[in-house]
Amino acid sequence: MNYEKGFGLLNGKKGIIFGALDDRSIAWRVALACKREGAEFVLSNAPIALRLGALNALSEETGAKIIPCDVSKEEDVESLMNQVKEELGGVDFILHAIGMSPNIRKKKPYEDLDYRFYQQSLDISAVSLHKILHFANSTGVLNDGASVVALSYIGAQRIFSKYSDMNDAKALLESIARNYGSRLGHRGIRVNTVSQAPTITSAGSGIKGFDGMFDFAEKMSPLGNPTADDCADYCVTLFSDLTKKVTMQNLYHDGGFVTNGISEELMEGLAKLHELKGDSEDNS
Ligand SMILES: NC(=O)c1ccc[n+]([C@@H]2O[C@H](COP(=O)([O-])OP(=O)(O)OC[C@H]3O[C@@H](n4cnc5c(N)ncnc54)[C@H](O)[C@@H]3O)[C@@H](O)[C@H]2O)c1
């Protein structure tokens, strides 16, 4: 089905989209999908990321204002919410698409983490969701019936060694989503995490061994890896009124990866390896 014109699923809705860095970013694709569906929103990223200038193109394309915010600073998050209030009044959806691990960047192994970096990974990638919800609530920006989505990864449940301290950050992120979801439900506000498959983006491909994680997931998932645009469409459904009773969930958007034990393709690949090993042993 060609749905370039959208379905008007977000007509009249207003939101905040955190984390669009360049046109590969999942948040960038979500912004385009939200625009297609009729939403109005502001874009936010850390001042250092805005210096790259790429976000201006998305701002022009979507008519969205850019409001800088380093989510590790409480004063930035509070100031952002006050500016959003002036710009949009209240908001009906928020996308948290923020992740960063200085330990991974600096190639510190999990057994030898720099603890200051570890704090930063947890703060930027997870505690930031708490801060965003806290200040969206205390400033009166979060409308009744709003939908909040944070992007997660299956490293929260199953350990992927190269994902290092981000495995811990995602576990905390998902817990914060549940905790806040239970407290905001009485206002019809839902808070969920979407556990996305490996996706080729700046954050994703910055992880050593990312190609292996991507290929493994691709071969393991009956539907194959979803793209950033697929993820964007899924987020749209969660922001829409079609999912009003879904909250406190970690929703896998992974082509079936999490439930599959092993795929035929991987079985065949392993069988071939076994044959090759047998051949080389026979020849030795
Ligand atoms: N790419 C993947 O394979 C994948 C898979 C599952 C989940 N995710 C998650 O999706 C989300 C978006 O990542 P992406 O893959 O689109 O990569 P990305 O690099 O495009 O996005 C990460 C964003 O976090 C922002 N950020 C970092 N520090 C910040 C700070 N202090 N304040 C505000 N913003 C800050 C960056 O500027 C960037 O825009 C992340 O939470 C990531 O963990 C990614």
Token pair 């995490």 is at which residue?
193
In a domain, 1, yes or no: no
Among 153, 180, 234, 252, the active-site one is 153
Q: Sheet containing 40-45: give its strands across.
A: 65-68, 40-45, 14-18, 91-96, 142-152, 190-196, 250-253
Question: Is the pLDDT confidence value at 145 over 80?
Answer: yes
118 is catalytic: no
Residue 4 placed within a domain:
no
Number of domains in the chain: 1
Q: Residue 180 catalytic? A: no
Quick one: average pLDDT of 198-207? 85
55 in a domain, yes or no?
Answer: yes
Q: 1 falls in which pLDDT band (50, 70, 90)?
A: low
The model's pLDDT over 86-141, given as tens digits with 9 standing for 90+, comes to 999 999 999 999 999 999 999 999 999 999 999 999 999 999 999 999 999 999 99
Give residues (CB < 6 A) around ligand 1: 19, 21, 25-27, 45-46, 49, 70-72, 97-100, 124, 151-153, 196, 198-199, 201-204
What does the pLDDT read at residue 63? 98
Listed range (3-7, 40-44, 215-219) with the worst mean pLDDT: 3-7
Q: Is the pLDDT of residue 226 over 70?
A: yes
Residue 86 included in any domain: yes
Asked which of 47-61, 202-216, 241-255 is least confident by mean pLDDT, the reply is 202-216
Query: Is 50 within a domain?
Result: yes
Percent of the chain with pLDDT over 90: 89
Residue range of the domain that includes 156: 14-283
Q: Tell whether 7 is covered by a domain.
A: no
Residue 187 lies in a domain: yes
CA distance 174 to 12: 29
Q: Which atom of ligand 1 is nearest to the CA of 202?
A: 19
pLDDT in tens, 171-193: 999 999 999 999 999 999 999 99
- What tokens were used for 254? 């992974």
Centroid of ligand 1 to alpha carbon of 256 (angstroms): 23
| CATH number for 267 | 3.40.50.720
Q: Is the pLDDT higher at 172 or at 274?
A: 172
CA nearest ligand 1 atom 42, residue = 99
Residue 240 has pLDDT above 70, yes or no: yes
Tell me which residue has its CA closest to atom 29 in ligand 1: 46
Predicted model pTM = 0.96
Mean pLDDT across the stretch 199-219?
A: 88
pLDDT tens for residues 150-166? 999 999 999 999 999 99
Q: How many CB atoms lie within 10 A of CB 109?
A: 10
Residue 256 lies in a domain: yes
